[in-house]
Structure 1
Amino acid sequence: MYRTGKETFLTEGSPTVRMRPLTLAAASGAALLAAGVLPATASGASTTPTSTQEGTVSAADLLAKVTSCQQISNGKYRTDEETSATIPVCGKNGAVFWKADMDIDCDGRRTSNCNEDTDPWYQDDTAFHQSDGQPLRADTLPYVVVPSSSGIWNYSDAGIKGGGVVAVIYNNKVEYAVVGDTGPTQIVGEASYATAQALGIDPDPETGGAESGVTYILFKNSKVSPIESHSAAVTLGDQLAKQFLQSN
């Protein structure tokens, strides 16, 4: 059973709109943290995550920090086109967060997992690009989709950038991802094929996803460089998660 939603895909030019079925289903590091930037690894390459618990901060500790919400969005988001708007964007301790579902984004570089045959709504671009200018690769790079800027909320005004670090929590697991794409102006709760796969969620763009229970914590003014280095996202994400827990 599917719910039909409208996804807005933004490139550097004008947005295009397409229909997508949404499923039910240390000291030296101080300056680095202040800047929110982590240099590239030697290879700078994206590698498919193999661990369902990344970093040293537990899902339980992170979730304990986001039990209450100080709403920073002007309104609330839907999880799908036909659902009610019940999801606020919350702010706390240098981060923003929301709790929603997870729909699967398979856009970006064409691969055996993400293409026109596996995803009828596939598009070969992402809002943010790799260091070489190419679109991101959804089936190997964990990334999160943020709502396009609107009267509800403007992600860039909140300190959220392309390549920013996100802790994605599901079923007591933590996966670090980057902000990699933009989506509908009124819908929230979407992440790449690789994000879902690492968390044990069915990554099929047509039939997969999670109906609920996903928490997204986005660290403000952070940026992984290069954006395609997942290992860099994990290292910086773990540092920022520790800071987040230590803040009042």
Structure 2
Amino acid sequence: MRPRSLTLTAAAGAALLATAFLPSNASGLARGSGADADRPAAAQEGSVSAAALLAKVTSCSQISSGKYRTDEETSATVPVCGKNGAVFWKADMDVDCDGQRTSKCSEATDPWYQDDTAFHQSDGRPLRADTLPYVVVPSSSSLWNYGSAGIKGGGVVAVIYQNKVEYAVVGDTGPTKIIGEASYATAKALGIDPDPENGGTDSGVTYILFKNSKVSPIESHSAAVSLGDRLAQAFLRDN
């Protein structure tokens, strides 16, 4: 989990506000090039809509013994909720860049970079955050034990943001009292700024984790989408 600084967040917001008053070409990036060209306009994977999934998670049957913080400086407001065949939470998204070192994810781009992930590819290497959509779950504690809830490494997650659905895998673990983090690739696919230092979003992200699921191999995103779509259809039927 990336403990984003309020100072950094405010500075980033001020920079964006200033940019809004500049001419369209003043940022130095031509339309259709640079960072904007890398960001997809929308993510809709599988046949189940974001609206259909969100309609099933309007109320919470809390299964965690308490609530989580979204960042170190915030109060604990986020419960883990139970449904038939899944657990879910609604939080922010901090950007995780841990795992294989690349041009987008390294000590040079991420002050909190670590060269490993809790779960590994089929070849034994850490996951690659800039290409594989994955979600970070809180490490097991008295607050909540993800393993006891049927959640495992490589399990399928439907991540929903602004009417977009992205299927990811459970790929890493984070602090025991903080929730709301996903890989660079997850953020980028959902149209969220994937910058591991100043990116992410402060709210509006729903994470639905399907119990007793496992993508094999964990690094196959197409396998995650295929399995995720089937599990999402079952989730709608069972809830």
Q: The TM-score by the shorter chain falls in which range?
A: 0.7 to 0.9
Aligned counterpart for 1:77 among listed residues 68, 80, 88: 68
* Offset at residue 93 of structure 1 (A): 1.4
1:63 matches 2:46: no
Q: Mark the structure with the bigger radius of gyration.
A: 2
Query: For 1:233, what is the secondary structure of its paired residue?
Result: helix
Partners of 1:22 and 1:126 lie apart in 2 by 23
Aligned counterpart for 1:125 among listed residues 112, 116, 119: 116
Number of residue pairs matched by the alignment: 209
More strand by share: 1
Contact 2:95–2:195 (8 Å) recurs in 1: yes
* Offset at residue 21 of structure 1 (A): 2.8
Matches within 5 A, 1:1-248: 7=1, 20-21=3-4, 52-248=43-239
Contact 2:3–2:71 (8 Å) recurs in 1: no
Partners of 1:162 and 1:109 lie apart in 2 by 17
In the alignment, structure 1 segments of 5+ residues that lack a partner are 1-6, 8-18, 26-47
Q: How much identity, in percent, do the aligned residues show?
A: 80
Contact 1:22–1:206 (8 Å) recurs in 2: no
More helix by share: 2
Partners of 2:228 and 2:39 lie apart in 1 by 14
Partners of 2:158 and 2:77 lie apart in 1 by 21
TM-score normalised according to structure 2 size:
0.84
What's the Cα RMSD here?
1.7
Contact 2:88–2:207 (8 Å) recurs in 1: yes
Partner letter of residue 169 of structure 1? I
Partner letter of residue 153 of structure 2? G
Partner letter of residue 161 of structure 2? Y
Partners of 1:21 and 1:134 lie apart in 2 by 27
Query: For 1:224, what is the secondary structure of its paired residue?
Result: coil
Contact 1:147–1:185 (8 Å) recurs in 2: yes
* Offset at residue 233 of structure 1 (A): 0.1
Partner letter of residue 21 of structure 1? R
Contact 1:161–1:221 (8 Å) recurs in 2: yes
Partner letter of residue 217 of structure 1? I
TM-score normalised according to structure 1 size:
0.81
Deviations 1:220-240 (A, max 9, x none): 000000000000000000000
Partner letter of residue 236 of structure 2? L
Deviations 1:108-147 (A, max 9, x none): 0000100110112111000000000000000000000000
* Offset at residue 22 of structure 1 (A): 5.4
Contact 1:22–1:103 (8 Å) recurs in 2: no
In the alignment, structure 2 segments of 5+ residues that lack a partner are 14-37
Partner letter of residue 197 of structure 1? K
Partners of 1:67 and 1:145 lie apart in 2 by 23
* Offset at residue 49 of structure 1 (A): 10
